[in-house]
Chain A
């Protein structure tokens, strides 16, 4: 129950209704209401300027973080075999009663690629080695794991069955070896780009972005675009888990579509396609292998090139993605992600953003009914026939706009129950003068108010390490945070933190990672 009374003391009024900065008042009110809005007794007012030593971190990794009052961190693992850049993770076998964390290690092929840790003991095992910067990983509705590389158009997508009994598999090129290699398969149907986030829905429809910086390859080159893959055979919720990888919906192929905003002028005439139109409603444009546009051959195997040819919208390094489970419970598709931007001191001051994309109902999102949209394009491409989906209307809208203190957001996690979003800052603060640690921010979702932006964000944690490991440098960062089903356990990696190691290659000086469990939310 809530009652709010606002009034101005009439005796002292001399003019306008409010004092100067209403925004600062709201920021203070967010902090003052931290328990009811965010479940913590107070917020963290500033990024850490504390620097602990490697010995301190190794002895007690919880010293790497300062948390909002009421929150507590415990160490899940600081095993020397833990990857140095532990990134996105999933809970296994369920979010309700997890026994293991399965996660990507975003390092080179010489380091572990996909690992698991036993939550109760912290013991680590390496499932697979040989990936180049493994980043996203998700648990599928049919009981497997998918993971992918952030490695441009040579990135691979991997599907694994029975991950607790899969150990020591090696990936070399497209060859899998090891005693458990039969538990692993490469999936090529998604196409290739720098995978970072996955929004995997119960019917198998999956959305992903290309973590690409604008200007990569030359001035004017676009950033990263968004895609969705619709399997030829949608998964039926409630079906039993598969027993063989050949039964996976991702084994038989499907269709790939890219997001292109612009629906002005009716459905198929002037669609307002081009730079300057990155928000709002649009179309899913199919990536058709072999289509030639302006002399460019479109192919899934290079989605970045296809995106430019198809005039898809682009964003500044799309990163992690998470699904809005409250909307999914209503049968609707909504997922939110981050575009990291760039905040090098005296650089772009592009602080990044959090966006959300809606795509109709779950059934509409998986409907591949399509039509041909023929549009005249510039740059000599002539009149181009695009194959567009007609059952759903994708819409991209911003949710949070970054700022100096909240920059280059990377990973994102909806908190079950409360529905807030936890954002992991991966900014250049540690390399700035004065140096400041990367933070965790807790954001309210948008409510019924008129605007479409978050109703407010507060800082709930900060890292006490602006030095980082020798292998990563640039200070430690939060990565891969994920809640259990209760929303009370937040498992998160402190990536490339200062420690006893300096090397990115396993061995005596390996700068291994740390995984913490943060609890205490009310």
Chain B
């Protein structure tokens, strides 16, 4: 199985554009994206039972709730805003941001079963992107942004590999591409489940500031992704 998308740089640029949105307000954003998954060596695995879960939430009643043309695209609010999508970059990603006091979280979880045709050692390579940024931290404000990616092999014992990036209460920008390698031994006929979970979380607290514009909304619009506004 191999999935690869072409959205890496575009996604990171998008995150950068968001946090420059209001030069006078604390701004946070975070992104996590599964860029691709491939098997590296080992006996052939048969995959089945895709299971995809999304969650997007904000601390305040969102002014928007939109889905894309496909059901796997959801966006809640604009500032704070949270988005979990698959189709925008042909790969699942999460994105949050705010320039006003509040918080936003988004996640996706993708899992699938595998069955081994023979015995051996298997490595699954999860290629991911991440970004977490705080800009213009204003005196008295508290802010945090995090990007978390986790690959989990179920069973006893289970195997879990986590990557976590965050910025807390300081200006900063952490972003890049990484890999999670999930390596495990299989026997002929063995089956199990692999779960990949990614989440973005961000908050600004303490000092209320005028609402800014979460540029991600307009940026996505500029990229030409059509969304159906339902509320």
Instruction: Please give the residue numbers on chain A whose beta carbons come within 8 Å of chain B beta carbons, in ascending order.
Output: 1-9, 11-16, 18-21, 24-25, 28-29, 31-36, 41-42, 45, 69-70, 520, 522
Contact = CB atoms under 8 A, between A and B. Distances in A.
B132 to A, nearest CB: 9
Given A4-B53, A9-B50, A25-B109, 15 more contacts: A1-B57, A5-B53, A5-B54, A5-B84, A8-B50, A12-B48, A18-B51, A19-B51, A19-B113, A24-B152, A33-B107, A42-B164, A522-B103, A522-B203, A522-B205
Interface string B39-80: 000000001111111111111111001010001101011000
Interface in B194-222: 195, 197-199, 201-203, 205
Contacts of B51: 8-9, 18-19, 25
Given A2-B76, A33-B107, A34-B201, A18 B154 contact: no
B107 to A, nearest CB: 4
10 contacts: A6-B54, A12-B50, A19-B193, A20-B154, A20-B191, A24-B193, A25-B51, A31-B197, A69-B168, A70-B144
A13 B49 CA distance: 5
Contacts of B113: 19-20
A6 B111 contact: no
B159 to A, nearest CB: 11
B197 A32 contact: yes
Interface in B75-99: 76-77, 84
A131 to B, nearest CB: 41
Contacts of B60: 1
Given A32-B148, A35-B103, A2 B72 contact: no
B192 interface: yes
A45 B162 CA distance: 9
Which 6 pairs of residues, A with B, have the shortest CB-CB distance?
A: A32-B199, A9-B50, A32-B107, A12-B50, A2-B57, A35-B201
A1 B150 CA distance: 25
Q: Is the interface of B mostly helix, strand, loop or mixed?
A: strand
Interface of B: 47-62, 65, 67, 71-72, 74, 76-77, 84, 103, 105, 107, 109, 111-113, 142, 144-146, 148, 150, 152, 154-155, 158, 160, 162, 164, 166, 168, 191-193, 195, 197-199, 201-203, 205
Contacts of B52: 6-9
B198 A32 contact: yes
Nearest to A16: B49
A443 B58 CA distance: 21
A29 B197 contact: yes
Given A21-B154, A70-B144, A70-B168, A5 B48 contact: no
B109 A20 contact: no
Contacts of B146: 35, 41-42, 69-70
Contacts of B74: 3, 5
Contacts, number: 151
Nearest to A9: B50
A29 to B, nearest CB: 6
A14 B192 CA distance: 14
B193 A33 contact: no
Contacts of A520: 142, 168
A6 B50 CA distance: 11
A504 B48 CA distance: 60
Given A8-B52, A9-B52, A36-B103, A69 B199 contact: no
Contacts of B148: 31-32, 42
Contacts of A6: 52-54
A69 to B, nearest CB: 5
A32 B148 CA distance: 7
B198 to A, nearest CB: 7
Nearest to B158: A24
A48 to B, nearest CB: 16
A1 B201 contact: no
A245 to B, nearest CB: 43
Contact of A29 (B56, B65, B109, B202): B109
A11 B86 CA distance: 15
Contacts of A29: 53, 55, 107, 109, 197
B50 A15 contact: no
A69 B76 contact: no
B125 to A, nearest CB: 19
